[in-house]
Structure 1
Amino acid sequence: MRVLGIDPGLTRCGVGIVDVRPDRTATLVEVVVVRTPPTMPLEQRLLAVGDELERLFDAHRPAAVAIERVFAQQNLNTVMGVAQVSGVALHAAAKRGLPVALHTPSEVKAAVTGYGSADKRQVQAMVARILGLAEVPKPADAADALAIAICHAWRGAPAAPASAGAVDARSLTPAQAAWRAAERSTRASAVPRRLAK
Protein backbone atom coordinates (compact mmCIF):
# COMPACT_ATOMS: atom_id res chain seq x y z
CA MET A 1 0.00 0.00 0.00
CA ARG A 2 1.49 3.33 -1.04
CA VAL A 3 0.46 6.24 1.19
CA LEU A 4 1.22 9.91 0.75
CA GLY A 5 1.28 11.72 4.09
CA ILE A 6 1.00 15.49 4.45
CA ASP A 7 2.00 17.67 7.39
CA PRO A 8 0.22 20.81 6.18
CA GLY A 9 1.75 24.23 6.61
CA LEU A 10 2.04 27.39 4.57
CA THR A 11 5.71 28.18 5.25
CA ARG A 12 6.74 24.50 5.35
CA CYS A 13 4.53 21.65 4.10
CA GLY A 14 5.97 18.20 4.68
CA VAL A 15 5.09 15.46 2.21
CA GLY A 16 6.17 11.86 2.81
CA ILE A 17 5.48 8.85 0.64
CA VAL A 18 5.89 5.31 1.96
CA ASP A 19 5.20 1.80 0.75
CA VAL A 20 3.85 -0.49 3.49
CA ARG A 21 3.50 -4.25 3.11
CA PRO A 22 0.78 -6.33 4.81
CA ASP A 23 3.31 -7.30 7.51
CA ARG A 24 3.62 -3.57 8.32
CA THR A 25 7.16 -3.27 6.92
CA ALA A 26 7.55 0.28 5.64
CA THR A 27 9.89 1.64 2.97
CA LEU A 28 10.65 5.26 2.14
CA VAL A 29 9.68 6.31 -1.39
CA GLU A 30 10.25 10.08 -1.19
CA VAL A 31 10.09 12.91 1.31
CA VAL A 32 9.87 16.60 0.43
CA VAL A 33 9.31 19.82 2.33
CA VAL A 34 7.58 22.45 0.20
CA ARG A 35 8.56 25.95 1.32
CA THR A 36 6.92 29.27 0.53
CA PRO A 37 8.14 32.66 1.82
CA PRO A 38 5.79 34.79 3.96
CA THR A 39 6.49 37.73 1.63
CA MET A 40 4.79 35.93 -1.28
CA PRO A 41 1.07 36.69 -1.89
CA LEU A 42 -1.18 34.08 -0.27
CA GLU A 43 -2.69 32.85 -3.53
CA GLN A 44 0.80 32.32 -4.99
CA ARG A 45 1.90 30.39 -1.89
CA LEU A 46 -1.12 28.09 -2.15
CA LEU A 47 -0.51 27.66 -5.88
CA ALA A 48 3.12 26.68 -5.25
CA VAL A 49 2.13 24.12 -2.62
CA GLY A 50 -0.68 22.78 -4.80
CA ASP A 51 1.56 22.43 -7.86
CA GLU A 52 4.14 20.45 -5.90
CA LEU A 53 1.48 18.22 -4.33
CA GLU A 54 0.01 17.48 -7.76
CA ARG A 55 3.48 16.65 -9.10
CA LEU A 56 4.03 14.19 -6.25
CA PHE A 57 0.57 12.64 -6.67
CA ASP A 58 1.17 12.08 -10.38
CA ALA A 59 4.78 10.91 -10.02
CA HIS A 60 4.13 8.36 -7.26
CA ARG A 61 0.45 7.44 -7.68
CA PRO A 62 -0.39 6.76 -4.02
CA ALA A 63 -3.31 4.49 -3.10
CA ALA A 64 -4.33 6.81 -0.26
CA VAL A 65 -3.62 10.24 1.18
CA ALA A 66 -3.31 11.02 4.89
CA ILE A 67 -3.32 14.56 6.28
CA GLU A 68 -2.71 15.79 9.80
CA ARG A 69 -6.01 17.09 11.17
CA VAL A 70 -6.12 20.78 12.05
CA PHE A 71 -6.23 21.31 15.79
CA ALA A 72 -6.61 24.39 17.99
CA GLN A 73 -3.55 26.55 18.49
CA GLN A 74 -2.96 29.97 20.01
CA ASN A 75 -1.69 31.37 16.71
CA LEU A 76 -4.69 32.00 14.43
CA ASN A 77 -2.47 32.69 11.40
CA THR A 78 -0.84 29.28 11.76
CA VAL A 79 -4.23 27.55 12.02
CA MET A 80 -5.48 29.41 8.94
CA GLY A 81 -2.39 28.45 6.91
CA VAL A 82 -2.71 24.80 7.93
CA ALA A 83 -6.41 24.79 7.03
CA GLN A 84 -5.79 26.46 3.67
CA VAL A 85 -3.04 24.01 2.69
CA SER A 86 -5.21 21.11 3.87
CA GLY A 87 -7.95 22.34 1.54
CA VAL A 88 -5.51 22.47 -1.39
CA ALA A 89 -4.38 18.91 -0.59
CA LEU A 90 -7.97 17.64 -0.27
CA HIS A 91 -8.83 19.21 -3.62
CA ALA A 92 -5.83 17.65 -5.38
CA ALA A 93 -6.62 14.21 -3.91
CA ALA A 94 -10.31 14.44 -4.80
CA LYS A 95 -9.47 15.35 -8.42
CA ARG A 96 -7.62 12.03 -8.64
CA GLY A 97 -10.30 10.00 -6.87
CA LEU A 98 -7.95 9.21 -3.98
CA PRO A 99 -9.32 8.31 -0.54
CA VAL A 100 -8.24 10.78 2.15
CA ALA A 101 -7.99 10.31 5.91
CA LEU A 102 -7.37 12.93 8.58
CA HIS A 103 -5.37 11.92 11.65
CA THR A 104 -4.84 13.91 14.83
CA PRO A 105 -1.29 14.40 16.14
CA SER A 106 -2.01 12.10 19.10
CA GLU A 107 -3.26 9.34 16.77
CA VAL A 108 -0.06 9.62 14.75
CA LYS A 109 2.13 9.56 17.86
CA ALA A 110 0.31 6.52 19.25
CA ALA A 111 0.57 4.63 15.97
CA VAL A 112 4.28 5.28 15.48
CA THR A 113 5.61 5.20 19.05
CA GLY A 114 2.87 3.38 20.97
CA TYR A 115 2.42 6.49 23.15
CA GLY A 116 -0.04 9.28 22.28
CA SER A 117 1.90 11.92 24.22
CA ALA A 118 5.31 11.18 22.72
CA ASP A 119 7.47 14.19 21.94
CA LYS A 120 8.72 15.15 18.48
CA ARG A 121 12.16 13.60 19.02
CA GLN A 122 10.63 10.24 19.92
CA VAL A 123 8.42 10.32 16.82
CA GLN A 124 11.34 11.29 14.58
CA ALA A 125 13.55 8.53 16.01
CA MET A 126 10.83 5.91 15.49
CA VAL A 127 10.19 7.07 11.91
CA ALA A 128 13.89 6.60 11.15
CA ARG A 129 13.87 3.18 12.81
CA ILE A 130 10.69 1.99 11.09
CA LEU A 131 11.99 3.06 7.67
CA GLY A 132 15.52 1.74 8.32
CA LEU A 133 17.10 5.17 7.83
CA ALA A 134 20.58 6.00 9.09
CA GLU A 135 19.47 9.51 10.07
CA VAL A 136 16.30 11.19 11.24
CA PRO A 137 14.56 12.96 8.33
CA LYS A 138 14.93 16.74 8.61
CA PRO A 139 13.39 19.20 9.08
CA ALA A 140 10.75 18.02 11.53
CA ASP A 141 8.02 18.56 8.92
CA ALA A 142 9.57 15.77 6.81
CA ALA A 143 9.53 13.27 9.69
CA ASP A 144 5.99 14.32 10.64
CA ALA A 145 4.71 13.72 7.09
CA LEU A 146 6.28 10.24 7.05
CA ALA A 147 4.78 9.50 10.47
CA ILE A 148 1.31 10.48 9.18
CA ALA A 149 1.71 8.16 6.18
CA ILE A 150 2.90 5.27 8.37
CA CYS A 151 0.04 5.85 10.83
CA HIS A 152 -2.53 5.63 8.05
CA ALA A 153 -1.02 2.53 6.49
CA TRP A 154 -0.81 0.72 9.82
CA ARG A 155 -4.35 1.68 10.77
CA GLY A 156 -5.82 0.80 7.39
CA ALA A 157 -3.68 -2.16 6.30
CA PRO A 158 -5.07 -5.63 7.04
CA ALA A 159 -3.03 -7.79 9.33
CA ALA A 160 -1.15 -10.61 7.64
CA PRO A 161 -2.87 -14.00 7.98
CA ALA A 162 -1.60 -15.97 10.95
CA SER A 163 -1.44 -19.14 8.86
CA ALA A 164 1.00 -17.50 6.47
CA GLY A 165 3.60 -17.27 9.21
CA ALA A 166 4.88 -14.11 7.55
CA VAL A 167 5.06 -12.01 10.70
CA ASP A 168 7.19 -12.98 13.66
CA ALA A 169 6.00 -11.01 16.69
CA ARG A 170 9.64 -10.69 17.81
CA SER A 171 10.44 -8.68 14.65
CA LEU A 172 7.84 -5.97 15.37
CA THR A 173 8.83 -2.59 16.75
CA PRO A 174 7.29 -1.72 20.15
CA ALA A 175 4.80 0.58 18.39
CA GLN A 176 3.82 -2.14 15.91
CA ALA A 177 3.36 -4.65 18.72
CA ALA A 178 1.25 -2.18 20.74
CA TRP A 179 -0.89 -1.38 17.71
CA ARG A 180 -1.42 -5.06 16.88
CA ALA A 181 -2.43 -5.79 20.48
CA ALA A 182 -4.90 -2.87 20.42
CA GLU A 183 -6.41 -4.12 17.15
CA ARG A 184 -6.87 -7.63 18.57
CA SER A 185 -8.44 -6.23 21.74
CA THR A 186 -10.86 -4.11 19.71
CA ARG A 187 -11.87 -7.03 17.50
CA ALA A 188 -12.33 -9.31 20.52
CA SER A 189 -14.47 -6.81 22.42
CA ALA A 190 -16.60 -6.10 19.33
CA VAL A 191 -17.74 -9.72 18.92
CA PRO A 192 -19.88 -10.01 22.08
CA ARG A 193 -21.62 -6.69 21.28
CA ARG A 194 -22.61 -7.91 17.83
CA LEU A 195 -23.83 -11.24 19.21
CA ALA A 196 -25.85 -9.57 21.93
CA LYS A 197 -28.06 -7.65 19.45
Structure 2
Amino acid sequence: MFRPRTPRVVVTVAMGAALLAGCSEGKTSAAPELPASTCFGAFTPTELAPFMGTGEKVQVDGPADVRLSAGRKSAICNIYVDGKTRFFASAERLPHGQHFFWAPAVDEQKPEPLAFAENSKLWDSGAAIFLSCNGPADAFELKLWLDGSTEQIKQEERRPLFAGLMKKYLDFAREQTGCGA
Protein backbone atom coordinates (compact mmCIF):
# COMPACT_ATOMS: atom_id res chain seq x y z
CA MET A 1 0.00 0.00 0.00
CA PHE A 2 1.36 3.46 -0.99
CA ARG A 3 1.63 6.10 1.74
CA PRO A 4 2.76 9.62 0.90
CA ARG A 5 5.93 10.79 2.63
CA THR A 6 5.01 14.46 2.64
CA PRO A 7 3.92 14.61 6.32
CA ARG A 8 7.17 12.97 7.45
CA VAL A 9 9.24 15.43 5.37
CA VAL A 10 7.28 18.42 6.67
CA VAL A 11 7.74 17.29 10.27
CA THR A 12 11.47 16.70 9.71
CA VAL A 13 11.96 20.16 8.15
CA ALA A 14 9.93 21.84 10.90
CA MET A 15 11.94 20.08 13.61
CA GLY A 16 15.22 21.06 11.94
CA ALA A 17 14.15 24.70 11.77
CA ALA A 18 13.09 24.63 15.42
CA LEU A 19 16.42 23.12 16.48
CA LEU A 20 18.37 25.72 14.51
CA ALA A 21 16.29 28.52 15.99
CA GLY A 22 16.98 27.11 19.45
CA CYS A 23 20.72 27.08 18.79
CA SER A 24 20.75 30.73 17.82
CA GLU A 25 18.40 31.89 20.57
CA GLY A 26 19.90 34.81 22.41
CA LYS A 27 22.63 35.25 19.81
CA THR A 28 22.15 38.08 17.35
CA SER A 29 24.62 38.82 14.63
CA ALA A 30 26.39 42.01 15.63
CA ALA A 31 28.08 44.63 13.53
CA PRO A 32 31.64 43.54 12.81
CA GLU A 33 34.53 45.46 14.33
CA LEU A 34 36.46 47.66 11.91
CA PRO A 35 40.19 48.31 12.13
CA ALA A 36 41.26 51.62 13.70
CA SER A 37 42.26 53.04 10.31
CA THR A 38 40.23 52.33 7.20
CA CYS A 39 40.15 53.42 3.57
CA PHE A 40 43.49 55.22 3.22
CA GLY A 41 43.30 56.37 6.85
CA ALA A 42 40.59 58.85 5.84
CA PHE A 43 37.75 57.52 8.01
CA THR A 44 37.25 56.26 11.54
CA PRO A 45 35.38 53.06 12.43
CA THR A 46 32.62 55.18 13.99
CA GLU A 47 32.09 57.10 10.74
CA LEU A 48 31.76 53.92 8.68
CA ALA A 49 29.81 51.83 11.21
CA PRO A 50 26.38 52.76 9.75
CA PHE A 51 27.27 50.96 6.50
CA MET A 52 28.48 47.71 8.05
CA GLY A 53 25.18 46.13 9.04
CA THR A 54 25.56 42.78 10.77
CA GLY A 55 27.95 39.98 10.11
CA GLU A 56 30.89 37.97 11.28
CA LYS A 57 33.97 38.82 9.23
CA VAL A 58 35.15 42.22 8.02
CA GLN A 59 37.83 42.65 5.38
CA VAL A 60 39.34 45.97 4.31
CA ASP A 61 40.97 45.85 0.90
CA GLY A 62 42.92 48.94 -0.11
CA PRO A 63 46.21 50.80 0.16
CA ALA A 64 47.33 52.65 3.28
CA ASP A 65 47.05 56.08 1.64
CA VAL A 66 45.68 57.97 -1.33
CA ARG A 67 48.92 59.69 -2.37
CA LEU A 68 48.40 59.76 -6.11
CA SER A 69 51.01 60.86 -8.61
CA ALA A 70 51.71 60.66 -12.32
CA GLY A 71 52.93 57.10 -11.67
CA ARG A 72 50.17 56.05 -9.27
CA LYS A 73 46.93 57.12 -10.87
CA SER A 74 44.29 55.55 -8.62
CA ALA A 75 43.49 54.11 -5.23
CA ILE A 76 40.48 51.97 -4.34
CA CYS A 77 39.23 50.82 -0.96
CA ASN A 78 36.54 48.20 -0.43
CA ILE A 79 35.19 47.10 2.92
CA TYR A 80 33.51 43.72 2.87
CA VAL A 81 31.35 42.11 5.55
CA ASP A 82 30.97 38.38 5.07
CA GLY A 83 32.09 38.83 1.46
CA LYS A 84 29.56 41.55 0.61
CA THR A 85 30.75 45.07 -0.27
CA ARG A 86 29.49 47.48 2.40
CA PHE A 87 31.59 50.58 1.63
CA PHE A 88 33.65 51.75 -1.34
CA ALA A 89 35.96 54.75 -1.74
CA SER A 90 38.09 55.63 -4.72
CA ALA A 91 40.33 58.40 -5.96
CA GLU A 92 41.55 58.73 -9.52
CA ARG A 93 44.09 61.16 -10.94
CA LEU A 94 43.42 62.11 -14.56
CA PRO A 95 45.41 64.24 -17.02
CA HIS A 96 44.77 67.98 -16.81
CA GLY A 97 41.94 69.03 -19.09
CA GLN A 98 40.42 65.57 -19.43
CA HIS A 99 36.67 65.87 -19.56
CA PHE A 100 34.48 63.90 -17.23
CA PHE A 101 30.91 62.84 -17.91
CA TRP A 102 28.51 61.60 -15.28
CA ALA A 103 27.22 58.11 -15.96
CA PRO A 104 23.49 57.90 -16.69
CA ALA A 105 23.16 55.55 -13.69
CA VAL A 106 24.16 58.44 -11.40
CA ASP A 107 21.55 60.77 -12.90
CA GLU A 108 18.89 58.07 -12.42
CA GLN A 109 19.49 58.40 -8.65
CA LYS A 110 18.08 61.96 -8.65
CA PRO A 111 21.33 63.48 -7.37
CA GLU A 112 21.85 66.97 -6.06
CA PRO A 113 25.07 69.02 -5.98
CA LEU A 114 27.17 69.16 -2.83
CA ALA A 115 27.21 72.67 -1.35
CA PHE A 116 31.01 72.67 -0.97
CA ALA A 117 32.06 71.36 -4.41
CA GLU A 118 31.21 72.74 -7.84
CA ASN A 119 31.26 69.60 -10.02
CA SER A 120 29.69 67.13 -7.61
CA LYS A 121 26.75 64.79 -7.13
CA LEU A 122 25.12 63.46 -3.98
CA TRP A 123 22.55 60.67 -3.98
CA ASP A 124 21.08 58.24 -1.45
CA SER A 125 23.84 55.65 -1.73
CA GLY A 126 26.88 57.75 -2.55
CA ALA A 127 28.61 60.93 -3.61
CA ALA A 128 31.20 61.92 -6.21
CA ILE A 129 33.33 64.96 -7.01
CA PHE A 130 35.37 65.86 -10.08
CA LEU A 131 37.78 68.76 -9.58
CA SER A 132 40.74 70.45 -11.21
CA CYS A 133 43.92 70.58 -9.16
CA ASN A 134 47.14 72.56 -9.29
CA GLY A 135 49.73 70.22 -7.81
CA PRO A 136 53.30 71.01 -6.77
CA ALA A 137 54.68 69.65 -10.06
CA ASP A 138 51.74 69.77 -12.47
CA ALA A 139 48.04 70.33 -12.90
CA PHE A 140 45.65 67.36 -12.95
CA GLU A 141 42.02 66.36 -12.53
CA LEU A 142 40.89 64.44 -9.45
CA LYS A 143 37.83 62.21 -9.25
CA LEU A 144 36.62 61.12 -5.81
CA TRP A 145 33.88 58.57 -5.30
CA LEU A 146 32.09 57.14 -2.23
CA ASP A 147 29.45 54.44 -2.28
CA GLY A 148 27.91 52.38 0.47
CA SER A 149 25.29 49.87 1.46
CA THR A 150 22.43 51.90 2.90
CA GLU A 151 19.53 49.50 3.50
CA GLN A 152 20.10 49.71 7.28
CA ILE A 153 20.28 53.54 7.26
CA LYS A 154 17.12 55.65 7.49
CA GLN A 155 16.25 57.34 4.20
CA GLU A 156 16.47 60.86 5.62
CA GLU A 157 19.96 60.20 7.08
CA ARG A 158 21.62 58.89 3.91
CA ARG A 159 22.46 62.07 1.99
CA PRO A 160 23.63 64.03 5.05
CA LEU A 161 25.85 61.07 6.00
CA PHE A 162 27.45 60.90 2.54
CA ALA A 163 27.80 64.70 2.36
CA GLY A 164 29.72 64.75 5.65
CA LEU A 165 31.96 61.86 4.63
CA MET A 166 32.67 63.41 1.23
CA LYS A 167 33.60 66.77 2.78
CA LYS A 168 36.11 65.01 5.01
CA TYR A 169 37.36 62.82 2.15
CA LEU A 170 37.78 65.84 -0.14
CA ASP A 171 39.94 67.67 2.40
CA PHE A 172 41.94 64.50 3.10
CA ALA A 173 42.47 63.68 -0.60
CA ARG A 174 43.47 67.25 -1.45
CA GLU A 175 46.18 67.12 1.16
CA GLN A 176 47.45 63.66 0.19
CA THR A 177 47.42 64.27 -3.57
CA GLY A 178 48.84 67.79 -3.42
CA CYS A 179 45.68 69.22 -4.99
CA GLY A 180 45.93 72.96 -4.51
CA ALA A 181 49.49 72.83 -3.14
TM-score by length of structure 2 reads: 0.24
- By relative contact order (CA 8 Å, sep 6+), the higher-ranking structure is 1
Q: Which has the larger radius of gyration?
A: 2
User: Which is richer in strand?
Assistant: 2
User: Which is richer in helix?
Assistant: 1
